[in-house]
Amino acid sequence: MKNKWKTGFFLLVGFNVLIGIILLSLILVPADKNEKIQQTVPDNKNVSFQVKSNKADLNVLINQYIKKEAADSPIEYSIQLQDEVELYGTLQFFSQEVDLKLTFVPEALDNGDLVLKQRSISVGSLPLPVSYVLKFIKENYKLPNGVDIQPNDKMIHVHMQQLKLKSDVKIKVNRFDLVKDDIAFTILVPVE
């Protein structure tokens, strides 16, 4: 009987040693270099992310950006996205504040920029020529870098990649359909 227990004991010890050797060899043998995940930097030095948004969230973001970028502007203004882009502000006219409202139809360009085509304008209840008001805004409002008002064409061109954002992040507009609330961007994050 002693031989059976002795034989069983040595078989169990041998089995444990064999398992230990196999595990140790698997741990210590280097992995195949071809199977390692390669981290590559794209040719354009940017990583892109597709983002879908809605009017409500974008309203908050745009107005926060305007508040920071135009903090020292003598005239306060805000943007409201409805079925159109609406710009609200006030003008000083003979020491009175007059309400200003401009509405634009947005269009996403192939290069990722956004064009806002003038649709309507109201300054108090007095109708004024669109080009005159856009020229006045261009000369008196502090607009963020990358926002180009073109009074003669009755439009505002927003050069999205010229907007100053944290960490040098750039934005391209893919879709900007306010009626369907279908707004999509590509965010470009620089990498080294």
Does residue 36 form part of some domain?
no
Whether residues 15 and 66 fall in one domain = no
Whether residues 26 and 81 fall in one domain = no
Q: How confident is the model over 35-58, as a mean pLDDT?
A: 75
Q: How confident is the model over 17-46, as a mean pLDDT?
A: 71
Does residue 100 form part of some domain?
yes
Does residue 57 form part of some domain?
yes
- CA nearest 137: which of 116, 164, 108? 116
Q: Which secondary structure element, helix H or strand E, spans residue 87, and what is its range?
A: strand 85-93
Alpha carbons 171 and 112: distance in angstroms, whole number: 8
- Mind listing the pLDDT tens digit for each residue in 83-124? 999 988 887 777 888 888 888 999 999 999 999 998 888 877
Does residue 39 form part of some domain?
no
Whether residues 166 and 133 fall in one domain = yes
Whether residues 95 and 120 fall in one domain = yes
Whether residues 24 and 85 fall in one domain = no
Whether residues 86 and 143 fall in one domain = yes
pTM for this predicted structure: 0.67
Say if residues 116 and 156 touch (Cβ distance below 8 Å): yes
Number of domains within the chain: 2
The boundaries of the domain holding residue 18 are: 2-30
Whether residues 82 and 25 fall in one domain = no
Task: Quickly state the pLDDT bin for 27 (edges 50, 70, 90).
Answer: confident
Does residue 150 form part of some domain?
yes
Alpha carbons 54 and 75: distance in angstroms, whole number: 27
